[in-house]
Structure 1
Amino acid sequence: MAGYAKTALLMAALTALFMGLGALLGGSTGAVIALVVAAAMNLMGYWNADKAVLYMSGAREVDARSAPDLVHMVHELADGAGMPRPKVYVIETDQPNAFATGRNPENAAVAATTGLLRRLSREEVAAVMAHELAHIRNRDTLIMTVTATFAGAISMLANFALFFGGDRDRPGGVLGTLALMILAPMAAALVQMAISRSREYEADRVGAEICGNPMWLASALMKIEAFAKGIDMNAAERNPAMAHLFIINPLHAHAHDALFSTHPNTANRIAALEAMVVTPSRRPIQQSSVPRAGRRNAGPWA
């Protein structure tokens, strides 16, 4: 519950920032208009954000015939977690990574890169898929869509204020106006990153319970981070706004910038997973539920 309370507070902060910029542009009327625009943008994002993310990432849908082992694995994990089976996608890139998207568990998808399927063991892949299923079950995918929409809208309004001047008679005068135009987008980005970080820890915990072994996920995180530092993901570099969706930040630009990272420190995530070993999962998944990877290439998976 603490994680959800923190998320609610951060969302309230984003709303206040958005309405504050609206007031800067048009006073109380501007604040109301900003709120209406935010609602419209979030409605559009609610219905279409998942399709947009899958398109931008270059993901292709697979099924039981084109990628039987991967699809079977995801279905087994979803069934074991008592949740609807999501659609399964594969992204053609050598960087190991994965993400989930969708407005609710009934309309969701998980995507894995071919690099993930080639470079990780079947247990580690199962743990990564369980982590993404946890995001879906916790409805993090919707939360992240809404926060991304708010952050983008705040930046848009700040640009409007920069070009059209805003209300210069507001308290603080011109300097206050300039400060708000510059600082509001930065604050929105920090709030978005804070929400992302808080949800990653919870998804790690629930994902470890779904797959039944926290150390599978700990090992996967360590490997993915190591590979991500040296292998580009072109789709994410072209569309950095979707970086927060992946299990590990796919971008190189923020690899050493803790303040502006969309993900918590990997070592801290691993430590939290190791602490779970003291209290094993109540419902471990059977080894037979994780399909064999077969040859060490993308063939049996994708």
Structure 2
Amino acid sequence: MNHLRTAILLAGMTALFMAVGYVIGGSGGMAIAFAVALAMNAFSYWNSGSMVLSMYGAREVDARSAPEFYGMVQQLAQRANLPMPRVYIIDNPQPNAFATGRNPQNAAVAASTGLLDTLTREEVAGVMAHELAHVKNYDTLTMTVTATLAGAIGMLANFAFLFGGNRDNNNGGFGVIGTIAIMILAPIGAMIVQMAISRSREYVADREGAEICGEPMWLASALAKIAGSAQRIPNNAAEHNPATAHMFIINPLSGERMDNLFSTHPDTGNRIAALQQLATSMGRSGGGFAPRPQPAERAAGPWGGTRRGPWG
């Protein structure tokens, strides 16, 4: 049902894109907008992962540069029956994480240094299992395409404002009224669709991520810590790229936190409550996946630096 809902919402996003094209250029503009939408989706399909990682200055790590963190992701990927994704670390004090890539064979997961500094080993495992659930469900592709279309709709709406309706649409005053309506309503509609897709997929990834690591309360504890820190610690890269905010496990932007139509993520309290119910049904209270311990004499932390963090 969630996949069907996502497909319907993506179709609605494409229809909005075409509607803006129609206001700008009539039926010809609508056809051009449709072609542009296809081209943008194709570009996003092949380049979305590298683009997002570059926006955040992510640094790829491996078993030598970040043995503990890389080994944890490797174990979780095996438990999820996924190919090993590329692993990245973002030098940012805000604790957060995201996944990207067009499919499981070309996926990447990224965590901030703030996440590795402030969370326990078990909480980090819960977060990365959540991100791997996104990879497994192809959410990374869906969310990137949605963000691309939402940004394009806003851009076209600005064009509609600058150039107005075409001559075919001027009859009955539709050129002026229609242009103003599209300029205001299309970006709002695109945002609503984008947020609806993101919220529905977060609940699914929470549940499946908890099943991957075997302990829902690890993720619940991590969500509580990340949500509290995200409100206090700014993420400047995210503020400059707000269209990517829905890709993170917790909204990296300051602002709305309620579980309503305009939020990028479900309310954290609702997510934690759902995980608590899942833990009860699973009969879990602290077992599950056990991250592989590393030798005590290893000098590098999980991000490959000199600090070890609370779980190094």
Same fold (TM over 0.5): yes
Q: Which residue of structure 2 lines up, in the alignment, with residue 105 of structure 1?
A: 104
Mapped to 2, the partners of 1:250 and 1:267 lie a distance apart of 16
Q: Which AA in structure 2 matches 1:40? A: A
Counterpart mapping for 1:148-163 below 5 A: 148-163=147-162
Deviation at 1:301, TM superposition (A): 3.6
Mapped to 1, the partners of 2:90 and 2:283 lie a distance apart of 31
Question: In angstroms, what is the RMSD of aligned CA positions?
Answer: 2.3
**What does the per-residue CA deviation read over 1:224-265, in whole Å, with 9 as the maximum and x for residues that have no partner?**
001111111121122222111110011113346954321010
Deviation at 1:300, TM superposition (A): 3.8
Q: Which residue of structure 2 lines up, in the alignment, with residue 220 of structure 1?
A: 222
Structure 1 length-normalised TM: 0.93
Counterpart mapping for 1:1-302 below 5 A: 2-167=1-166, 168-169=169-170, 173=174, 174-255=176-257, 258-280=260-282, 287-291=289-293, 299-302=301-304
Q: Which runs of 5+ in 2 are unaligned?
A: 305-312
| Cα distance change, pair 275–257 in 1 and its aligned pair in 2 (3 A) | closer
Deviation at 1:281, TM superposition (A): 8.2
| Cα distance change, pair 202–21 in 1 and its aligned pair in 2 (3 A) | same
More divergent stretch after superposition (44-53 vs 247-256):
247-256
**What does the per-residue CA deviation read over 1:143-173, in whole Å, with 9 as the maximum and x for residues that have no partner?**
0111111111111111111111123426662
How many aligned positions are there?
299
| Cα distance change, pair 44–200 in 1 and its aligned pair in 2 (3 A) | same
Mapped to 2, the partners of 1:193 and 1:293 lie a distance apart of 43
**What does the per-residue CA deviation read over 1:14-63, in whole Å, with 9 as the maximum and x for residues that have no partner?**
11111111111122221111110100011111111111100111110011
Mapped to 2, the partners of 1:219 and 1:197 lie a distance apart of 19
Mapped to 1, the partners of 2:59 and 2:180 lie a distance apart of 44
Q: Identity across aligned pairs (percent)?
A: 62
Mapped to 1, the partners of 2:276 and 2:180 lie a distance apart of 47
More divergent stretch after superposition (157-166 vs 72-81):
157-166
Contact 1:243 1:249 in 2 (8 A): yes
Contact 1:211 1:285 in 2 (8 A): no
Contact 2:259 2:266 in 1 (8 A): no
Mapped to 1, the partners of 2:296 and 2:188 lie a distance apart of 47
**What does the per-residue CA deviation read over 1:78-117, in whole Å, with 9 as the maximum and x for residues that have no partner?**
0111110100000111111100000000001000111111
More divergent stretch after superposition (75-84 vs 236-245):
236-245
Deviation at 1:186, TM superposition (A): 1.0
Contact 1:123 1:290 in 2 (8 A): no
Contact 1:294 1:300 in 2 (8 A): no
More divergent stretch after superposition (246-255 vs 112-121):
246-255
Contact 2:214 2:289 in 1 (8 A): no
Aligned to 2:280, the other structure's residue is in SS state coil
Structure 2 length-normalised TM: 0.90
Mapped to 2, the partners of 1:47 and 1:39 lie a distance apart of 13
Aligned to 2:102, the other structure's residue is in SS state strand
| Cα distance change, pair 78–287 in 1 and its aligned pair in 2 (3 A) | closer
| Cα distance change, pair 237–105 in 1 and its aligned pair in 2 (3 A) | same
